[in-house]
Amino acid sequence: MNYLRIIAVFAAMLFLGSCQKEEREFIDDTTNEETFTAGSDLTRILLSASQNDGTLDNLIDGSSCIAITYPTQVVANGQSITLNSIDDISLVEAIFDQFPGDSDQLEIIFPITVVTEAFDEILVESQTAFDSIVAACENNIVDTYTCVDFVYPISCFIYNASNEQTNTVTLNNDYEWFEYLNYLQSGIYVAIDYPMTVIVNGETIVVNTNQELNTAISSANCSNGGGGGNPSDFENIITTGVWYVTYFFDDFDETSDFASYEFSFASDGTANASNTTGNTPGTWDYYLDSGVEKVDLFFGVVSPLDELDEDWDILEATEAIIRLRHESSDGSLDYVTYERDPYTGGGGGGGVNPFITEITAGSWFVNLLEDDGTDETCDYVSYEFTFNVNGTVAAVSDTNTKNGFWSALDDSSGLDLVLSFELSGNDDPFEDLNDDWDVTNYTSSIIQLIDVSGGGGGTDYLNFGRDPYTGCGGGGGGSDLTDILLNGPWFVGTYLDDGVDETYDYYGYNITFSSDNTVVAENGVNTINGTWSVIGSTDLDLVLDFGTQIPFDEFNDDWDVLSYTTTTINLQDVSGGGGGTDTLILEKL
């Protein structure tokens, strides 16, 4: 125990207290009820409320006995994050929620400083030392009222056993208030100089007596499961105003089924879903299950509302949005999102469901992985990928199996494919697949993805095809590609001119490559002639020349061959002098 610190605090209190107001010589008859001592119930309640709250960051440190200080660096599921305040813990929560069903892992970068419930600071140099501190936690001061806040300064009159006022003290923060109460000596009587202001579950309350103070604090509901929020927060949020389902996912996007419904939730646990055909009563119940915040919804057997009848994990709850998740018995994950404005049809099943149908039908192979200009396709050439409707994905080779999770989203930026594979050791190539990919194009035979890194980072490309990639050595290089081109005809699956999709300009054209190095594009009306050649043996280029014939004059270039299979050829041209990047993908008819 740091007695010098305690003496310094008391000395400061005595100095400040002597300046507060003139002493009152005696306690009047009513004041005896307004004092408390070291062993009183009110003292224990005030200690619980003024302690250093170690519950808000339990997602990081796993202990209510300590709180981390800031900044602290952590690695959440492989992503490095610097926590600069308690608010940044939401960044970790978002990463953990991004890939549901995976095994969330958090690593703290040491050394860090933690603060105990009694405001003692401890420098922790290693994970072993940290584990020892957590294991030794006794939580001597109960956390029942940690969510209560005081409005400072707080002034108190000090009396002795003879009812004589001996001093006044002024406390300016939780630390001073806790220190004074924690080391309050027997025989000392404390009377708060009312009125006093406390904040309980977000409500500001002015109290004028010890009884009012006791009642206000005792009404607090501070159970939070270590997440940094009060259950009453969720209860207040869900029972305020009306809500609309803006996303519902059960193997497929079924949001449109709920588009006409308005939801309301009452504080007595009843609920109501209404649309133009009438009202459907229901119930809701909020609770904690092993520290996880959950809500049970029940609307009976009326379709589609019966699909909401589950015990949902609460992923996010604010005044504007509530996001829920449920794990079904088959391991699949369902999602529901409530927001304040009705669903308008932007995004949703129109784009997601056809994509889910394609990606879950049969097997896929990586035909291209270009990481910021580096072709890494061959890292995955031996793997066959299977995407399951329940959100799991498996990549299987002759010697290894990589399991992971996937999800398809349709947001304001378009269709996204989110991948999360398990990683083993450093430099695992599947780490490059773990991302939120923009879907630029998909058919029954190809899925084309792009990811543009923020902060001036590079651009990555990922393509899945139905056939294994054949350009990883052991073949004839340019002769292999030549043979594949001759085995047409082909069509333009994708053409991006510096990111602008111009594929439609080539709709209906069949492209035939001949052994005399001529190429013909025909659509039944127009016939466009050109020449072609494959140059190189390892780093291949496809040279096309259609002269001035529109629109194929756009293809007149020396195209880098990124990857190719018997059914798909991926080409790219990067203009010099800081120009843009063009993408051309040919698919076999």
Structural domain boundaries enclosing 311: 232-345
Rounded mean pLDDT, 160-173: 93
Q: How far apart are CA 368 and CA 569, in angstroms?
A: 10
Amino acid 454: pLDDT: 55
* Residue 470 placed within a domain: no
Q: What is the pTM of this model?
A: 0.48
In the listed set 320, 345, 370, which residue is the last one of a domain according to the structure?
345
Q: Are 283 and 270 in contact (CB under 8 A)?
A: yes
For residue 75, what pLDDT band results from cuts at 50, 70 and 90?
confident
Write the CA distances from 149 to 10, 13, 49, 179, 222, integer angstroms.
22, 21, 7, 16, 11
pLDDT band of residue 7 (cuts 50, 70, 90) is: very low
User: How would you class 232 by CB atoms within 10 Å of its CB: exposed for 0-12, middle for 13-18, buried for 19 or more?
Assistant: buried
Whether the predicted pLDDT of 121 surpasses 50: yes
Q: In the structure encoding, which two tokens stand for residue 391, read together?
A: 């959100």
- Tell me if 383 sits within 8 A of 402, measured CB to CB: yes
Q: Is 226 a domain residue?
A: no
Residue 473 domain-assigned (yes or no): no
What would the pLDDT profile of 13-62 be if each residue is shown by its tens digit?
444 444 333 444 334 333 467 899 998 999 999 999 999 988 888 889 88
Let me know if residue 225 belongs to a domain.
no
The Cα-based distances of 539 to 238, 305, 475, 557, 587 in angstroms read: 59, 57, 13, 16, 21
3-state secondary structure of 206: strand
- The 10s digit of each residue's pLDDT in 93-114 is 877 766 555 567 789 999 999 9
Q: Is the pLDDT of residue 477 over 70?
A: no
Tokens representing 380?
């995955």
Task: State mean pLDDT over 386-392.
Answer: 89
Residues 6 or more apart in contact with residue 521 via CB below 8 angstroms: 506, 509, 510, 511, 527, 528, 530, 546, 552
* First CA to last CA distance, the chain: 80
Q: Are residues 79 and 190 in the same domain?
A: no
Rounded CA gap, 550 and 528, in Å? Answer: 9
Mean pLDDT of 329-355: 77
Checking if the pLDDT of 522 tops 50, the result is: yes
* Residue 55, helix vs strand vs coil: coil
* Of 378, 417, 376, 380, residue with least CA distance to 396: 380
> In terms of domains, do 80 and 107 share one?
yes
> Is there a single domain that holds both residue 406 and residue 448?
yes
Residue 280 lies in a domain: yes
Kindly state whether residue 224 falls inside one of the protein's structural domains.
no
* Residues near 452 by beta carbon (within 8 Å), at least 6 away in sequence: 438, 459, 460
- Same domain assignment for residues 488 and 450: no
- Given 218, 248, 272, the domain boundary residue is 218
What is the distance between the alpha carbons of residues 76 and 60, in angstroms, rounded to a whole number?
10
Instruction: For tokens 């006995």, name the residue.
Output: 65
* pLDDT of 215 above 90: yes
Any idea what the Cα angle at residue 279 is, between residues 274 and 280, rounded to 5°? 100
Alpha-carbon gap, residue 398 to 382, rounded angstroms: 8
Residue 542 lies in a domain: yes
User: What CATH number does residue 509 fall under?
Assistant: 2.40.128.270
Taking residues 384-393, report their average pLDDT.
91
CA–CA distance, 153 with 17 (Å, rounded to integer): 12
Answer yes or no: do 88 and 17 share one domain.
no
Looking from the CA of 411 toward its CB, the CA atoms found within 13 Å total 11
**Count of structural domains, the chain:** 5
Residue 151, CA atoms < 13 Å, CB-side half-sphere: 14
Predicted confidence at residue 34, as pLDDT, reads 86
Last residue of a domain, one of 315, 345, 375: 345
Residue 537: the pLDDT is 59
Omega cis (within 30) before 354 = no
Query: Mean pLDDT across the chain, nearest whole number?
Result: 84
Give just the sign of the alpha carbon dihedral 94, 97, 98, 104: positive
304, 192: one domain:
no
pLDDT at 52: 92
The verdict on 495 and 454 lying in the same domain is: no
For residues 152 and 181, state if they share a domain.
Answer: yes
Per-residue confidence (pLDDT) for residue 100, from 0 to 100? 53
Tokens 């305020």 -> residue = 240
Same domain (yes/no): 402, 336 = no
Q: If pLDDT is split at 50, 70 and 90, which confidence band does 395 have? A: very high
Q: Which of 87-91, 138-142, 288-292, 547-551 has the lowest mean pLDDT?
A: 288-292
User: Could you give phi then psi for residue 228, rounded to 5 degrees?
Assistant: 90, 40
Alpha-helical segments (H) within 300-393: 349-359
Is the same domain home to 286 and 394?
no
